[in-house]
Amino acid sequence: MLHARSGLSFPQIAAVLEEPVGTVSARYSRALAELRAALAKEEQHG
């Protein structure tokens, strides 16, 4: 979660990781969706 923690832009992260920007963006979106789902599940089970 370099974007959220360090404030780096997706192009900056892509350069550091030597990955395409689209890959970085997709991975971020997927991780965020998984985090939201886990938090929602936790909230339901209280």
**Cβ–Cβ under 8 Å, residues 24 and 34:** no
Total structural domains in the chain? Answer: 1
The whole-number pLDDT of residue 4 equals: 74
Separation of alpha carbons 41 and 35, rounded Å: 10
Q: The domain containing residue 17 runs over which residues?
A: 2-45
Check whether 1 has a pLDDT greater than 70.
no
Question: pLDDT per residue over 29-38, tens digit each?
Answer: 999 999 999 9
Separation of alpha carbons 45 and 38, rounded Å: 11
The whole-number pLDDT of residue 12 equals: 95
pTM given for the model: 0.78
